[in-house]
Structures are given as structure tokens and as C-alpha cells.
Amino acid sequence: MKTAEKLLQKVENGTIISPKGFFAGGIHAGLRFSKKDVGVIVSEKPASCAAVYTQNHFQAAPLKVTQESIEKSNKLQAVVVNSANANACTGEQGLQDAYEMRYLVAKRLNMEENLIAVASTGVIGEFLKMDKIKYGIEHVQFTSTYEGAAQFQEAILTTDTFQKSSCYEIEIEGKKVLIGGAAKGSGMIHPNMATMLAFVTTDANIPSPLLQKALKEVTDKTFNQITVDGDTSTNDMVLVLANGEAGHQPLTEEHPDWGLFKEGLKEVCEDLAKQIARDGEGATKLVEVNVNGAKSKEAANVIAKQIVGSSLVKTAIYGTDVNWGRIICAVGYSQADINPAHVEIFIGPYLMFKEGVPQPFSEEEAKNYLENETVTITVNLKDGTENGKAWGCDLTYDYVKINASYRT
């Protein structure tokens, strides 16, 4: 009998084009000084699709065009992304530019425009340099190699310091199924329905409505549980394409492997979410908060995200200051229903607070723990059975430096 571990495995060096039938590439078109800035993902055939978007009222033009494509066809076959310019708050001209990006890709690939999704990221309020966009789309090369994936991953970055990717293998009806992803995000990260930009591909066979349901559930547990600076971007989007090339029967909620598919999708999204949190602008540490024993899943998630989003908690972690009082404060103002007399606070393995009373611990050992690149905070509420997680980063001097001169 096969174990769950053998049915769900991380693929080392797996990428966005590891699933069958996907290609990717990126090119330097001149939107940025030297790095690649236009990227494209292509599926051999139209794929089922799902997407979640920012809830910022100022949604960028590319999101509107992508939503229109999905609503009209319920399928996607290609995604075009540019960095350096968000094409947000650019009015009718910005909308027409996004439509032109979609048209140029459709023309290059000889496919219907409604099968193309568009995404942009970068500075808000500036018009796209469409001559450079056109050059990039006309000259970018797509491959199914690791190099093609790396080119795409570079093309979508802004202030990111490293490329973000993940891939997991699952088994459905005895057939190998891959789920791969790529993302960008470093600052302006406080998702509400999505994160900065994340793209996931899979060769699983699943209809679009069910894929949408799975993505919404997974997003709430992963991308919606990260924060860097409390800002929700105008361009946030998570997009999933499933082309069915693995060859199994269509997934349904009654299918015995439905839960396994959702778990694989969650693992990819959680990997990407944590990489985004770790790469917060100027960050030196990934912070994970676990909240256990809550009355509801919602309460656990709210408290976890409140802690990881607290500027005082973030700066204490940066300064290796074992100031657990800041954690207690964040729990208290979260507005979740808790009993303060039950609460326990741990920083790493060190118990700081229990049942309303400070606990003895080694200041030196706890401070040394905060030097680690990953810091875990655990809150035990002892009020129920629900748990939640959130991820973020420390807050450093470099965050201010980066954002004070973002446009220059």
C-alpha cells in the first residue's frame, strides 16, 4: 500500500513548465535597465482556468482584461506578463494597452484573444511603453526547459531578490500529475483574495468551476495568510491553468483523489507564499506564526496574521529583542474572541507567557534563537480545536531605503 508521502512529493528543481504541455520564456524588452521584463507562459492546448484578484478598489487594467477573457471562454492557453510598469490608474489608455498586449500574443501564437490572460507589475500611474512591449512579445522564445522557466521567473520580478518557484508531484488513477508554480512579490504585500502575482500550471484534468473552488479554498490558507507591509496592491492576482495532459479521468469532488489534488495545490501555493514573505523588501528573516486551540478557523487566522503584521513585532524580531509583550498586544487587539487567562506564548521552543503570568526563560538563548533566518512564534489559546498559520518577515532599515526611492 502506497503511503501519503509517496503520493505527494516535492519535485526538486521543478518549475512552472514541469507539467506536461507547458512552455515559458522571458526577454529583456527595455522596460527595465537590463533584466528581463516580458514573460509568457503557453499551454499546448486550451486549459481549464481559475483566478483570484486583489480587492483593492483601483484594479489595474490587466486584471480587467484577464477577467474578461476568463468570463468569455472559461479557458486560457497563454499568459503574458510585464514587469517595471503596473499599468494601473492609467484610464482608458491603460485598458487599450492591456487589450493590445492580449492581441499581440494571440497574433504571435495564432490563437483566440479570449484565451490570453494579461498581468503587469511595477510602478503605478505610468503608461506602458508599447513599442517595447510589442518587441518583447514578438521576440520572446518559449521552451519546455528549465532555462525557459527561469527566464519567465526573472521577467516577472520587481524589487524581488530571488526567483520564486515550486513544484509537487501527485498520483491520480496511477498516473503522474505535476503542479508547478512561479510568483513574484516583495513589497506592497497584504493580500486579500490573492497576492502580488502567482501563476500555477498543472497537467491535471479538472473542470474550471471545480478548479476555481479549489483555488479559493487554498488561497485562504496560503496567499491570504502572508503580509510584508500591510499594503494590498492594485495588481494582485493568482492564476491557475490545468490542461489535462496527465490523461486521467476528470476530477470531481467525489473522485477518490480529489483531496490529494487540493493538497498538492496547497503545497505549491504555500511554498510560493512563504518565499514571498521571506523576500519582503529589506527582510532578513521569515516569520511563521502558529495559533492553536482557537474557537474558529477564522479567529486563528486573524490572530496569526495580526501578529505577523505588527510593525512592533517585526522590528523586535529584526533587532533580536525578545519582547513577547508585543505579541500579547497583537493577540489582544485582534478582536478575536479569546480568554486571556488561557493564553500561552512561545518564541521558538521558549515559553514566554502562560495563564496570565510571565514565565522564566534564558534571555541569552532566546535572543540567539532570534538570530535564525526562520523564526517561529506559537500562540496556544486553549479555547477550542481550530488552528491557523500566517507568514511574514522582519522590518528593517532597508525597507525604508528601498521604498523611499522606489521610482528613482
Helix axes 91-109, 61-73, angle to 10 degrees: 50
Rounded Cα gap, residues 327 and 215, in angstroms: 31
Exactly one of 54, 66, 195, 222 is catalytic; name it. Answer: 195
Active site residue 195: yes
Cell of 256: 477518490
The three-class DSSP label of residue 369 is helix
> Closest by alpha carbon to 22, among 244, 338, 247?
244
Alpha-carbon distances of 378 from 51, 280, 297, 343, 349, rounded to whole Å: 32, 21, 15, 10, 9
The three-class DSSP label of residue 48 is strand
- E strands of 95-245, at which residues? 116-120, 164-172, 175-184, 197-202, 237-242
User: What sign for the dihedral angle of Cα 295, 297, 302, 305?
Assistant: positive
Cell of 294: 482557537
Helix axes 208-221, 258-278, angle to 10 degrees: 50
Cell of 115: 484565451
Rounded Cα gap, residues 132 and 299, in angstroms: 47
So which residues are the catalytic ones?
Answer: 195
